[in-house]
Amino acid sequence: MTKIDRTYLDWNATAPLLPAAREACVAALDMVGNPSSVHGEGRALRMLVESARRDVAALVNTAPAHVIFTSGATEAANLALTPTYRMGRTPLAIGHLYVSEIEHPAIREGGRFSRENVTTIPVTPAGIVDLDALEAVLQTHDKAKGLPMVAVMLANNETGIVQPVKAAAEIVRRHGGLLVVDAVQAVGRMPVDIEVLDADFLIVSSHKLGGPKGVGALVSRGEVLMPAPLIRGGGQEKGHRSGTENPAALAGFAAAARAAVTDLVERNTLIADLRDALEAGMRTATNDIIIHGADGERVANTSFFSLPGLKSETGQIAFDLEGIALSAGSACSSGKVGQSHVLAAMGFDAALGGLRVSLGSGSTTADVERFLAAFSRIVSRRRMTGNAA
């Protein structure tokens, strides 16, 4: 049986492990000790952990002390999304959580809030959070029950559409609320500065950057306003997230973080050129393709498209058989391929399928050419079935 050459175009699901990250992980695995131990071996690992904290802080222009390491972005979300906070030693109640309709499932599930205390904010047909709706719902918030918390992602994981986080922050501030921003798909693909965004918390993930899986961070604006711990125990991470740190994963995360901020603009300009060539080729192949978010601001690497009559699952399998790895949206739903809640929120028919191509620093012109050749074959088969012009 002839082996099919594979082309990986699913960087939003996970980026291939960077050689520098792999080397850093392996080197850390050879170190003996526990980062909490006071002897020389422990202190060496503590230095590694704190060095990683500095590198991750640099991703979003904040102080290292503002970085809490977690097992990933989902844990970071569950740590941040809680009705129980402290301002220093003073308890602070959060009465209600407001999340945009296009948030990742890790946010949409509401973390530690009860379902009745979670409200969704609609988005416009362009896939942008509706700021007027956000203003209106915060005006009706009952502050007697606690402060409002708002969660708005910076770049959507399916469409790549960049959200008006700074404008949302201005609304949240007027109503005395807290702002949590999922920056997982944004870091490394656009400049991200927690101060410029005026967010209280940012969520970041290692494996989206080319680091190892199973490690992420919740980044806070400061050290006074903090959520109740999600994992209690030995008091690691200043008591915010107990459990022995994973130095090997953190070393890889740090290497990926350093790479993510190196030549950021130049790298993403090249990736955007590849994405634009890919979309131009698809438009040449068929005139009924819908490219979601193409008229607005997107991160450079993402193209989310629909072909009327082609189901997401059918399209994903067809491309996989062609040797092309892409996605039907979020890869964080246990392998399920279902209807896109993002497209539904934008007002599209729920039956309309979507496929996501996402590129990265290792993507090439040859990758785009192989994709377009496969795309043309799939479109031709679709025409023969009478599904499209």
pLDDT in tens, the chain (389 residues): 456 689 999 999 999 999 999 999 999 999 999 999 999 999 999 999 999 999 999 999 999 999 999 999 999 999 999 999 999 999 999 999 999 999 999 999 999 999 999 999 999 999 999 999 999 999 999 999 999 999 999 999 999 999 999 999 999 999 999 999 999 999 999 999 999 999 999 999 999 999 999 999 999 999 999 999 999 999 999 999 999 999 999 999 999 999 999 999 999 999 999 999 999 999 999 999 999 999 999 999 999 999 988 889 999 999 999 999 999 865 554 455 567 899 999 999 877 889 999 999 999 999 999 999 999 999 988 776 665 54
Q: Is 5 exposed, middle or buried (0-12, 13-18, 19+ CB in 10 A)?
A: exposed
Domains in the chain: boundaries? 7-16+263-384, 22-260
Q: Which fold is adopted by the domain 7-16+263-384?
A: Aspartate Aminotransferase, domain 1 (3.90.1150)
332 counts as catalytic: yes
Q: pTM for this structure? A: 0.94
Q: Which of 20, 126, 332, 388 is catalytic?
A: 332
C-alpha 50/C-alpha 24 separation (Å) is 15
Please list, residue by residue across 297-334, b when 16 or more beta carbons sit within 10 angstroms of its beta carbon and e when fewer do. Answer: ebbbbbbbbbbbebbbebbbebbeebebebbbbbeeee
Distance of CA 206 to the CA centre of its chain: 10
Domain 22-260: state its class.
alpha beta
